[in-house]
Structure 1
Amino acid sequence: MDYTNLVKTSSRVIPLGSFKLTITMINVQQNKILIIVFQQLFLSSL
């Protein structure tokens, strides 16, 4: 069985100053999985 057409992923990275917001949406047939990663960027210059 071919699963390549059943899974669709779309990812988006939104920079927010010293933070980074990564939103990934995974489509598996009729199920939608939303993964939201909110991480702080530690800059060595600070």
Structure 2
Amino acid sequence: MANELGIEISQISRIERGVINTSFTTLYSISKVLNVDVSEFFVFDFIVI
């Protein structure tokens, strides 16, 4: 995936862990590589007990 996006593997890891912020353009590109809608990155299911 990093090769397809033209970014370092370590940068993907930092994005996943929330260590760095990224642009919407990068998120959009990631969504296309993963074949999901970009809105999937913003869906949170919380269980309240």
TM-score relative to the length of structure 1 = 0.22
Question: Larger RCO: Structure 1 or Structure 2 (Cα < 8 Å, ≥ 6 residues apart)?
Answer: 1
TM-score for the superposition, normalised by structure 2? 0.22
Q: Flag the structure with higher helix content.
A: 2
The answer to which structure has the higher strand fraction is 1
Highest Rg: 1 or 2? 1
